Amino acid sequence: MGARRTGQRSGLGTAATAAGLGMGAAGMVCVGGSVAVSGVLADAPLFTTQAVRYTVACLLLLGAARLTGRRVTPPRGTEWLWLLGVAVAGLVLFNVALVRGSVHAEPAVVGVAVASVPVVLALVGPLLDGRRPAPAAVAAAAVVTAGAVLVQGHGRSDLVGLGWSVVVLLCEVGFTLLAVPVLRRLGPWSVSVHTCWLAAVLLAVLGLGAEGPAAVTTLHAAHVLAVACLAVFVTALAFVLWYSAVGRLGSARAGLLTGVAPVAAAVGGVLLGSPLPGPAVWAGTALVAVGLVIGVGIRPKGIANTGPNRHDG
C-alpha cells in the first residue's frame, strides 16, 4: 500500500511538473513573440498606452474567470503589499525602465539583462525559502542565460543605459519573487487580476499627470491593435500561464523557462520575414535547450511537489 501511494504521489508530481513546464514555456513564447508588436508602440504615450493595456487585460481575465467558473479571491492583510510590489516593480517600473533604457542602450543590452533572470532566480529563490541554492540548478541557469545572451546578441550602451538595464533585471525578478508569497492562497488567476488593475490605476494616474487626459485620443489603429495583442497574449494569457508554472515548479526551475522568450522572438522574426539567424543564434538556442534539460531534472531538497493548488486550472 505504501509503495502504491508513493507511486501515485510520484505520478502526480510528474504530471504537475509537465504541466508547469508546458505553461511556463507557452507563456514565454507569448512574451517572445511580442517583440515586434511592442515596436509599434514606440511613438505612443507610454503611461496611457500601458494603462489601457492592463485595463483590457484585467477585464479579459475577469470575463474568462467567470466563464470558466474560477473564483477571483480578494487579497487580505499584507497580501495587498505583495501584490502592489508586483504591480509597481514588475509592471509599472519595468515598462518605464524598458523604454528609458532603450534610449541609452541598444535592445540587445536590455535583452541580456532580462536573459540574466534565470541565474538570479536560481540564487535568490531558494534563499527566500530558507534553503541553499543548488549548484546544479545555478549551473543550469547559467547555461540557459549564456544561450539567451547568444540569441540576443551584443549591443552598445552608456552608463545610464546599463543602469536602466539593471533596473529591468530587478523588476523582472520582482515580477516572479514578489508573487510567490501570495500564489499559494490566491492562485495565478487572482494574482494576475489584482496586479493588472493595480498597475492600470497607477499608470492611469501617471498618464493623466505626465501626458494629459487627451493622450488616449492620439492612439491610431496600429496602436490599438498592438495594445490589444499585448493585453490578450502577453498580459492576460501569459500572466496566468507564468504564475501557474511558478506555483507548480517553484521560482528557480520556472526561471529557466525565461530563456525560451528570446528564442521565440528569433523564430517570430523569421516568420515575419527576417533572414534566417546566424550560427550564434543557433548555438544559443542549443544552449538554452541543454540548460532546460539539465534544470528540469533537478528537484529541490525538502520541497515536495504537491501539484497545483486549489485555484489552478
Residue 105, strand partner residues = 157
- Residue % of the chain over a pLDDT of 90: 43
Q: With CA atoms as reference, report the closest residue to 80 among 176, 182, 180.
A: 182
For 255-311, the pLDDT digits (tens) are 989 888 878 777 777 776 767 777 877 887 888 888 888 877 666 554 434 344 444
Examine the pLDDT at 177 and tell me if it is beyond 90. Answer: yes
Examine the pLDDT at 108 and tell me if it is beyond 80. Answer: no
Residue 265: predicted pLDDT: 75
Residue 109: predicted pLDDT: 67
Residue 240: predicted pLDDT: 96
- Residue % of the chain over a pLDDT of 70: 86
The C-alpha atoms of residue 239 and residue 243 are separated, in whole angstroms, by 6
Residue 125: predicted pLDDT: 85
Examine the pLDDT at 156 and tell me if it is beyond 70. Answer: yes
Regarding predicted confidence, which is higher, 111 or 67? 67
CB distance 149 to 112 below 8 Å: yes
Residue 155: predicted pLDDT: 64
Residue 295: predicted pLDDT: 79
Examine the pLDDT at 205 and tell me if it is beyond 50. Answer: yes
Residue type, 104: H
Residue 77: all three cell numbers together? 492583510
Q: With CA atoms as reference, report the closest residue to 290 among 175, 176, 126, 150.
A: 150
For 53-107, the pLDDT digits (tens) are 999 999 999 999 999 999 999 999 999 999 999 999 999 999 888 878 777 776 6
